């Protein structure tokens, strides 16, 4: 029987090493082609940009007690700027909310060199490359899973709360959490905005509290399904659960 080579994430011993390694991944041909095509064609408003056009690493301190998990980079957002939730409307809403709570140093995120810092929060995606129509295939999601599983495993000493931004993130992160050392209930918990469940550690270590939140995409925000106040309220609860002391959200 042919043996599969171990995933490169398995041998990584720090988040800094993982972040550097993931940017060179070319495991999914369709995603590689799409991200590089977007960088060649570009949007008219970004003709002067040199696109990142590689997988996107996580962003935020390695010892963060709060993790936020999205879907995948946007073709002309993170795929352009090289930082998660940066350069698109989804990021505009998310970073404004984090700033309002004192968890980000500034309310805007336009490039990976703009000086933005996160406080007690790390943001990551289960799929690291921009997919066509923002829809990764199940195979691409599963191929990418070892990156986030190892990331969460390396965060176990400090992470206490995780917010899944959207149903895709919720479904994608559950098996990654199991691989990283937390126990999942049966049946598996159902996603919903405000869903909240405690996952015990398989080895008796600290548990993780998992929250569900509607994704911060324009599809949700422009229709009012997710308002800035709803986002701030949920992030306040999650940050408090993580042991952070968020500022009082502005009304």
Q: Mark out the alpha helices in 82-195 (DSSP H runs).
A: 89-100, 138-155, 167-180
Query: What's the pLDDT score for residue 183?
Result: 97
Query: What's the pLDDT score for residue 132?
Result: 97
Q: b/e for 165-183, b at 16 or more Cβ within 10 A?
A: bbbbbbebbbbbbeebbbe
pTM exceeding the 0.85 threshold for the entire prediction: yes
pLDDT in tens, the chain (251 residues): 333 456 888 889 999 999 999 999 999 999 999 999 999 999 999 999 999 999 999 999 999 999 999 999 999 999 999 999 999 999 999 999 999 999 999 999 999 999 999 999 999 999 999 999 999 999 999 999 999 999 999 999 999 999 999 999 999 999 999 999 999 999 999 999 999 999 999 999 999 999 999 999 999 999 999 999 999 999 999 999 999 999 876 55
Choosing among 3.30.360.10, 3.50.30.60, 1.10.599.10, 3.40.470.10, the CATH entry for 51-241 is 3.40.470.10
- Which residue's structure tokens are 């289960």? 126
- Token digits of residue 58: 């996580």
Least Cα distance to 66 among 251, 250, 234, 248 occurs for 234
Q: Mark out the alpha helices in 8-131 (DSSP H runs).
A: 15-22, 29-41, 78-81, 89-100
Query: What's the pLDDT score for residue 208?
Result: 98
- Token digits of residue 122: 């790390």
Query: What's the pLDDT score for residue 85?
Result: 98
**Residues 156/238, Cβ–Cβ less than 8 Å:** no
């Amino acid at each position: 029987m042919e043996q599969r080579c171990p995933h490169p994430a398995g041998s990584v011993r720090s988040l800094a090493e993982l972040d550097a390694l993931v940017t060179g991944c070319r495991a999914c041909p369709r995603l590689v082609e799409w991200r590089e095509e977007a960088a060649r064609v570009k949007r008219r408003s970004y003709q002067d940009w040199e696109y990142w056009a590689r997988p996107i690493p996580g962003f935020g301190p390695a010892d963060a007690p709060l993790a936020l998990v999205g879907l995948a980079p946007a073709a002309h957002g993170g795929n352009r700027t090289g930082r998660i939730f940066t350069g698109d409307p989804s990021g505009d809403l998310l970073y404004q909310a984090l700033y309002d709570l004192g968890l980000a140093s500034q309310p805007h995120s336009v490039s990976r060199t703009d000086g933005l810092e996160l406080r007690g929060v790390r943001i990551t995606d289960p799929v690291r490359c921009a997919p066509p129509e923002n829809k990764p295939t199940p195979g691409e999601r599963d191929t990418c899973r070892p990156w986030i599983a190892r990331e969460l495993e390396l965060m176990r000493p400090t992470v206490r709360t995780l917010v899944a931004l959207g149903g895709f993130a919720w479904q994608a992160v559950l098996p990654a959490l199991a691989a990283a050392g937390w126990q999942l209930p049966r049946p598996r918990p159902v996603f919903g905005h405000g869903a909240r469940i405690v996952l015990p550690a398989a080895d008796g270590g600290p548990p993780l509290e998992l929250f569900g939140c509607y994704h911060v995409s324009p599809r949700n925000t422009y229709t009012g399904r997710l308002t800035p106040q709803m986002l701030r309220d949920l992030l306040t609860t999650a940050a408090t659960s993580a042991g952070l002391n968020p500022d009082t959200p502005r009304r």
